[in-house]
Structures are given as C-alpha cells and as structure tokens.
Amino acid sequence: MSAFRSHGRGHLNGPVVVIGTGLLGTSIGLGLRGRGVPVFLSDPSPTNQAVAVDIGAGQPLEHLGNEVPELVVVAAPPDVTAAVVARALADYPDSVVVDIASVKAAILAELQGAGADIARYVGTHPMAGREKSGPVAARGELFTSMPWVVCPGPESSAAAVQTARSLAADLGAVVSQFTADEHDAAVALVSHLPQIMSSLLASRLQGTPLHALSLAGNGLRDVTRIAASDPTLWVQILGGNAGKVVEILYGVREDLNRLIGTLEDPLASGARLDLAQLISEGNAGQARIPGKHGGPPQAYAWLTVLVDDRPGQIAKLLTEIGEIGVNVEDLRLDHSSGQNVGMVELSVLPNKHDHLIEALNDRGWRVLQ
C-alpha cells in the first residue's frame, strides 16, 4: 500500500474529486462545498458537469492541477462503478477512493479480481435519494440524518476507512459499518424485498376496473407507494444483488405456495391455523422494525383527529398540541374519498395519550382516540 494523505480526526480537508455529477455526486459536492472543502468535479456528460459546477458543487476537474486529492468519490451508475473505481485508484495513486453504489459485494470482488490497490478503496452506501435525478435535483443536505453504510474490504487500511467515515459524517449522515456481504444481505431484506413486494402488488392493479380502485384505502396506498420507483435504477440494483435477493424470494415463494394451498381448500382442517400463522408471523416481523431515530421499537399510542380539509386546520391542530405541551412522534393524513373531511392520525408517547385526548376535546376538536 502506498502512502497517502490522511486528515487527522474527523473532518475532510480536501481536495475531494467527485467522479459522476448525478443527483448523489452533485449533492456530495454541494455538501462539502458548504463546509469549505475544495471539490473538483468530473462527468462523462459535459452538460451534467457544467450544471453541477454552475450550481456550486465544485470546480471542473481540470482546475485540480497537480494537487493530490485526499479523497476521490466515485458516484457513477452501479453497473460501471467497479471499472471507474479501478481507474481512479490508478489515476490517483496517493488518494483514498470510495464509491457510493447501493450494492457492495460484487464491486469489491471485481476490484479484488482486477488486482487494484484496494488498501485505498472503501465501498460505501449513502441511503438517501429522491424521486428526481440529475444534478439539478441535488441538495447539499440530502444526507442529513440518513444512514450511510461504510463497508471496508479485508484489504482496506484503517486510514482509508477513517476517511470514508469522515465523508459521511461531514455530510451529516449517520455512519454505520458493515462488511460488504452483511450490507448486501441487509439491503436485500430492508430495501430490495419491499420494492419487489410493492411492485408485484401494484402490477396487479393494471387491469382493474376503476370502480374497484375507488375503494382503495391507506393500506393499499402505503404498500404501493414505492412501486412508483425508477425502473432503470432498480434493474441495476436488483441485478447487482441477485444472489442475496433470490435467497429471500425462495422463502417468500414457499410461504406463498402454502397460502395458495390453504386458500384453495379453505375449509380443510388446519386451514384456519395456517392463515392465522401467516398474519401472526407478519405481526412478529413488523414488531422488530426499529422505532424513530434508531431507537428500539416503541409502541406509540395513536389518536385520530377529524379536521376540515382546508388550509390552516392541521397547523391549528398542531399549534394547539404544542400549547398543550405534547410532542408528536409521528403523523399521517388519512385520505378518504368524496368528502372534504380529513383525519389526522397522531402518535405520541403512551403516557401523554389520555391527557392529550382530554385537552383536545376541551378545545372542541373531534377526537376518535
């Protein structure tokens, strides 16, 4: 491993080179520029690069001159990431190189196979995104409070890992460290499987009569929200993590086949128990999802307040809840068809629940508990 610049403790000094000025690369540039770190940008599309420069994400790479980058961030599409990382390791022999692709093991394996100097390479995955893409949609605060997984390979040097962690921390993300395999298994389950289940469900709606869809409630809306995701990106993500995803899908298929068998003969002995087990196992899995701010799963107490659907009503409600002195942990608007009454579902700490209901009733709000 060659010597390379390190940054002491905690913060990047730069210069940082960002290769790929799409949504994420440009957002990284903007965030680092906001901290005063010198950033140099490069993109195969001259237009994308010019836009990223124009909105202040950094200078064109030509301006780097003979300076040695502290860090090179490869923000290329997943399917070319390994090649671009290998090239960057060769082009910048004294710099740390990280990538930000959402699947990690395949890239590491490809670099190991290519004999690259991977002591200076660390794979990372910032779990942030938007519906929009491209540099115009970039925001320096995109990573604030979002998870950013750092996945050192067995060859990564401690200093390179520290530099990668500093990038994430400087941009306000919550840093965690996984092996590439652990990461890919985790996202297969918490990110890729939800996308697949949502898409499989939503695709069933294609031929439905519209009067049936008029009965859609929050359940359907929730489960299908991420079905609106970008096909191009997801082809690369699912293709890049195919092995881990398919392992999980075998289990889903087994459960689905059992359910189909049960529903084909719903009066058979044991059928009811089978159905109860499916729902109960879902209860048990759902209860394990961590609570807000990464805390343990917490049973918040929910209440529902009816409001007129016009400007200012929800603000008025929340202002009064603030006056009552209760913190709202979560909030949902409940949509209903055909009438202009809205329901606001609020979750609060259980010990505030009864007090809040009483206080809201006193103030004339219609509370469903």
Q: According to CB under 8 A, which residues from 164 to 183 bind a second copy?
A: 172, 174, 176, 178, 182
Would residue 263 be called left, alpha or beta, if left means φ above 0 and alpha means ψ between -120 and 50 degrees? alpha
The single residue among 2, 214, 269, 351 that binds a second copy, judged by CB under 8 A, is 214
Give dist(CA 316, CA 89) in Å, integer.
Answer: 56
Shortest spacing between CB 16 and a second copy, in angstroms: 22
Q: How far apart are CA 145 and CA 147, in angstroms?
A: 7
Count of residues interacting with a second copy (CB under 8 A):
137
Q: Is 362 in the site for a second copy (CB under 8 A)?
A: no
Contact 17, 72 (CB under 8 A): yes
Cα gap 270→287, rounded to integer Å = 26
275 binding a second copy? (CB under 8 A): yes
Rg (CA), the chain: 25
Which of 91, 292, 308, 355 is in the footprint of a second copy by CB under 8 A?
A: 292
101: alpha, beta or left? (left if phi > 0; alpha if psi -120 to 50) = beta
Is 294 a binding residue for a second copy by CB under 8 A? The answer is yes
Binders of a second copy among 45-104, rule CB under 8 A? none
Q: Please identify which residue in 1, 276, 298, 361 interacts with a second copy, judged by CB under 8 A.
A: 276
Q: Which stretch binds a second copy (CB under 8 A): 15-23, 61-69, 146-154, 156-164?
A: 146-154
Q: Which of 164, 153, 143, 170 is nearest to 70 (CA)?
A: 164
256 binds a second copy (CB under 8 A): yes
Which range touches a second copy (CB under 8 A), out of 3-11, 109-117, 145-153, 158-166?
145-153
Supply the minimum distance, in Å, between the C-beta of residue 277 and a second copy. Answer: 8
Buried b (16+ CB within 10 A) or exposed e, 245-281: beeebeeeeeeeeeeeebeeeeeeeeeeeeeeeeeee
Nearest distance, CB of residue 321 and a second copy, angstroms? 7
